[in-house]
Amino acid sequence: MSPREDATRERLHDALRERHEEIADRWVRLQLEQTDAVDLDEGQLRTEAGQLLAALTDGLSGETPVRHLFASHRDLRACVMELSLHRARAGASPTDTSLAVLCLKEALLEAMQYTTRDTAELFAAAVLINRLLDTAGALSFETYVEGREEIIRRQSRQLLEVSTPVVRLWRHVLAVPLIGTLDTARTQVVMESVLQAIQEHEAQVAIIDITGVPAVDTAVAQHLMHTVNAVRLMGADCVISGIRPPIAQTIAQLGIDLSTILTKATLADALAAAVRITDEPMPGADAHLTAAAR
């Protein structure tokens, strides 16, 4: 590090300590001017600014080169990430989020103007501040993207769970009405929730109704076979209902062998078949009836 850079760093550090309030206030106002799309809570912004500037002051007093300061200083890094995540969740645009961090440059430079009038020194300060905050901008953008990805992942997971309800149709009979296109991820979720529900309800039969499924290809048929086999390994049975004529045709044309699986045209037929299967004497069946009648 050059002596000049050291001196500039020292000066910035002093400015931060002496004009802490001023810089924070200016930064918050700059942010409010720049981001009009989202209502940001001013109080929250002030808290963020206070924490970040405190961490920055601490970081500058250390030895870490400015270029790496935001990435390696624990508190500083946490501050930027939290600020960016907060905006990502609040629905701010990625540009606004990066700008929020980058406009701290302006606030810092303004503060430096009070410490010196020398052009060369001010230039050195500008270079230092740029180096310092460019990493912060990059970190902020990265965190923002990660935050949004996390939201998308969570939503698609929730959507998957919502779209595959397992309902108890009868004593020891479960039904899974499937609606919409089946892909690998969804079939996995179906398989897991069916098996889980079988264990929870001690179900004897699970009906998978595919009336609402537009098309069945080899992969989907394969997944259905897997589900049926796993259900059988657990000691229950599976009925597939709602195979519409075009799907029956596809299955025949693809040469998929579903002959080992009990299939029924409608959910009603499947339920009748399932009840017949479970009506065979069961352990404690009478006890169940009495319990239910009470």
Partner 1 sequence: MNAPRPSAVPILRLGDVLVTGLLNELDDTSALTFTDELTERIVADGARGVLIDVSRLDLIDSFVARTLTELATMARLLGARVIVAGMRPAVAITLVELGLQLKGVETALNAEQGMHALGWQQTARSPRGDAYDALR
Partner 2 sequence: MTLYDEAFARGARHADAPLRPVGLDVAPDGAQTHAVMSEQDLLTVRHAVRSATVAAGFALVDQTRIVTAASELARNAYVHGGGGSLTIEVLGHGARGGVRLTVRDNGPGIPDLDKALTDGWTTGTGLGHGLGGARRLMHEFGVDTTVGEGTTVTAVRWNNR
| Chain positions contacting partner 2, by CB under 8 A | 149-150, 153, 185, 192
DSSP string covering the chain: --HHHHHHHHHHHHHHHHTHHHHHHHHHHHHHHH--SS---HHHHHHHHHHHHHHHHHHHTSSS-HHHHHHH-HHHHHHHHHHHHHHHHHT--HHHHHHHHHTHHHHHHHHHHHH---HHHHHHHHHHHHHHHHHHHHHHHHHHHHHHHHHHHHHHHHHHHHTS--EEEETTEEEEEEES---HHHHHHHHHHHHHHHHHHT-SEEEEEEEE-----HHHHHHHHHHHHHHHHTT-EEEEE---HHHHHHHHHHT---TTSEEESSHHHHHHHHHHHHHS--TTHHHHHHHHH-
Which of 253/259 has CB closer to partner 1?
Answer: 259
Which of 153/232 has CB closer to partner 2?
Answer: 153
Amino acid (1-letter code) at residue 131: R
Q: Residue 195 Cβ, how far from partner 2 at the closest point, in Å?
A: 9
Binding of partner 1 by 195 (CB under 8 A): yes
Q: Residue 283 Cβ, how far from partner 2 at the closest point, in Å?
A: 27
Q: Residue 185 Cβ, how far from partner 2 at the closest point, in Å?
A: 7
Q: Residue 172 Cβ, how far from partner 1 at the closest point, in Å?
A: 9
Binding of partner 1 by 171 (CB under 8 A): no
Tell how strand 237-241 and strand 173-179 pair up.
Answer: unpaired
Residues within window 208-247 making contact with partner 1, judged by CB under 8 A: 226, 229-236
Q: Residue 287 Cβ, how far from partner 1 at the closest point, in Å?
A: 3
Q: Residue 47 Cβ, how far from partner 2 at the closest point, in Å?
A: 27
Which of 54/230 has CB closer to partner 1?
Answer: 230
Q: What does 185 bind: partner 1, partner 2, none (CB cut-off 5 to 8 Å by kind)?
A: partner 2
Which of 54/151 has CB closer to partner 2?
Answer: 151
Which of 113/199 has CB closer to partner 2?
Answer: 199
Would you mind telling me the total number of residues written for the chain in this entry?
Answer: 294
Q: What does 216 bind: partner 1, partner 2, none (CB cut-off 5 to 8 Å by kind)?
A: none
Binding of partner 1 by 192 (CB under 8 A): yes
Which of 104/203 has CB closer to partner 1?
Answer: 203
Of 8, 204, 250, 263, the one binding partner 1 by CB under 8 A: 204
Bridge partners (DSSP) of residue 262 are 239
Binding footprint of partner 1 on the chain (CB under 8 A): 191-192, 195-196, 198-199, 202-204, 226, 229-236, 281-284, 286-288, 290-291, 294
